[in-house]
């Protein structure tokens, strides 16, 4: 038995017995389409655009900052090199300046040309000004690169700041280069004036020696050596200071030496003694002669006798010490007195003509001095003939070539 719903029984009972289908078509029922709202789509598009823009700005700002940092670091490195160069140049200038100042301080007034000293004084002042200006530049700091910003607005601002710092550093580097040139100019001027001072001072040594002719040979040689050392100086440094002060000391010692010698020769015979010495020097050019006087020399000197004794050195420069008895001055300018002096000078000048005679025996040495006196035209027997005999003609001929 089949159960039939009430509705079905009722429909079946209707006249005609035809039931309508639930649908009039075989097509499936239509689904209701929901329309999207346009605002949401545009919002998505806008969001994507903003993200893209921000990303582009971020990337661009990042690249801009990196480029600015690279350029700044290059400029800072160049400035660091200029700073190092300027610092070294300034240190060198101060070394020269300090040495030049020491030279000025050690000047005793001997030998120094006032104009040359004035040039050094001015150059020292100019060097001080240049060094002070350099120190001021060296004190200016080069900004350090800070931590890199994160966001593009800070990156752009940071890149701009780096560009400004780069321009500032470049200007500082230019100023350092200019000051380096100024330092070089000041150093060159100081060196030139300093060397000129040493050169002119050394050149004055010859006149100083001539003005103090009675100084001892050792002190004359010391002055010459000090002058030669000062003339050879090529830089103003500690060695230049030593050379200058040594020259000043040697010049002062020469004066003291002459004063001591003149004090020893003082008395009524002083003027005559100096005349005898001047005569001896005039016939022995290039040989340093030093004189000692005593009542008795070589065993003689009293009762009208005269004595002389010469010691010479073969070194460079040739030098000799001549001892004369007071009687030589007392009888001056007699021919016999002059003849004896010329004989002694003949010994002294042999330092210039060592290869002209045999110096191995005392007799040969005395014959040479006698021959030299004869070659000079002094024929009085006091020329050595009385004491040592007449020399051979070949000695006289050889001695004539020794002047």
Give the pLDDT band of residue 32 (cuts 50, 70, 90): low
Check the CA dihedral 214-216-220-221 and report its sign. Answer: positive
Give the pLDDT band of residue 58 (cuts 50, 70, 90): confident
Q: Quick one: pLDDT at residue 8?
A: 41
The pLDDT tens digits of the residues spanning 366-379 come to 999 999 999 999 99
How far apart, in whole angstroms, are the C-alpha atoms of residue 325 and residue 214? 18
pLDDT at 33 exceeding the cut of 70: no
Give the pLDDT band of residue 39 (cuts 50, 70, 90): low
How far apart, in whole angstroms, are the C-alpha atoms of residue 314 and residue 288? 12
Asked if residue 108 lies in contact with residue 199, where contact means CB atoms within 8 angstroms, the answer is no
pLDDT at 35 exceeding the cut of 70: no
The pLDDT tens digits of the residues spanning 90-142 come to 999 999 999 999 999 999 988 999 999 999 999 999 999 999 999 999 999 88
Strand partners, 88: none
Q: What average pLDDT does this structure show over 154-161? A: 88
The pLDDT tens digits of the residues spanning 231-284 come to 999 999 999 999 999 999 999 999 999 999 999 999 999 999 999 999 999 999
Give the pLDDT band of residue 176 (cuts 50, 70, 90): very high
Q: Quick one: pLDDT at residue 49?
A: 64
pLDDT at 44 exceeding the cut of 70: no
pLDDT at 16 exceeding the cut of 60: no
pTM as predicted: 0.78
How far apart, in whole angstroms, are the C-alpha atoms of residue 62 and residue 82? 30
Q: Quick one: pLDDT at residue 24?
A: 43
The proportion of the chain whose per-residue pLDDT surpasses 70, expressed as a percent, equals 88
pLDDT at 55 exceeding the cut of 90: no
- In 106-151, which residue ranges form alpha helices assigned H by DSSP? 114-138
CA angle 283, 377, 403 (to 5 degrees): 35
Burial 328-350 (b: 16+ CB within 10 A, else e): bbebbeeebbbbbbbbbbbbbbb
């Amino acid at each position: 038995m089949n159960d039939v719903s009430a509705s079905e029984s009722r429909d079946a009972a209707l006249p005609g017995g035809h039931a309508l289908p639930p649908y009039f078509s075989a097509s499936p029922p239509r689904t209701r389409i929901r329309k999207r709202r346009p605002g949401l789509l545009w919002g998505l598009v806008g969001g994507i655009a903003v993200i893209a823009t921000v990303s582009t700005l971020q990337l661009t700002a990042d690249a801009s900052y990196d480029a600015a940092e690279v350029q700044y670091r290059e400029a800072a490195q160049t400035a660091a090199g200029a700073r190092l160069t300027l610092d070294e140049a300034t240190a060198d200038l101060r070394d020269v300046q300090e040495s030049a100042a020491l030279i000025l301080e050690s000047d005793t007034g001997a030998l120094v040309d006032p104009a040359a000293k004035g040039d050094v004084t001015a150059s020292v002042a100019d060097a001080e000004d240049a060094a002070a200006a350099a120190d001021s530049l060296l004190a200016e700091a080069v900004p350090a690169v800070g931590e890199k910003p994160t966001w593009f607005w800070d990156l752009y601002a940071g890149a701009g700041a780096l560009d400004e710092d780069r321009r500032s550093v470049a200007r500082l580097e230019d100023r350092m280069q200019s000051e380096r040139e100024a330092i070089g100019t000041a150093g060159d001027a100081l060196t030139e004036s300093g060397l000129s001072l040493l050169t002119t001072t050394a050149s004055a040594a010859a006149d100083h020696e001539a003005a103090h002719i009675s100084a001892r040979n050792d002190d004359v040689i010391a002055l010459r050596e000090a002058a030669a050392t000062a003339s050879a100086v090529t830089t103003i440094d500690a060695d230049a200071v030593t050379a200058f002060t040594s020259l000043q000391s040697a010049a002062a010692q020469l004066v003291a030496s002459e004063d001591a010698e003149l004090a020893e020769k003082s008395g009524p015979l002083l003027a005559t003694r100096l005349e005898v010495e001047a005569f001896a020097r005039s016939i022995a050019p290039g040989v340093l002669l030093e004189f000692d006087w005593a009542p008795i020399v070589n065993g003689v000197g009293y009762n009208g006798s005269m004595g002389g004794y010469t010691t010479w050195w073969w070194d460079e420069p040739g030098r000799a010490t001549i001892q004369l008895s007071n009687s030589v001055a007392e009888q001056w300018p007699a021919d016999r007195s002059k003849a004896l002096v010329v004989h002694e000078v003949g010994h002294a000048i042999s330092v210039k003509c060592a290869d002209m005679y045999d110096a191995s025996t005392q007799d040969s040495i005395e014959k040479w001095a006698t021959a030299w006196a004869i070659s000079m035209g002094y024929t009085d027997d006091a020329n050595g003939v009385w004491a040592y005999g007449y020399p051979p003609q070949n000695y006289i001929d050889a001695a004539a070539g020794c002047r």
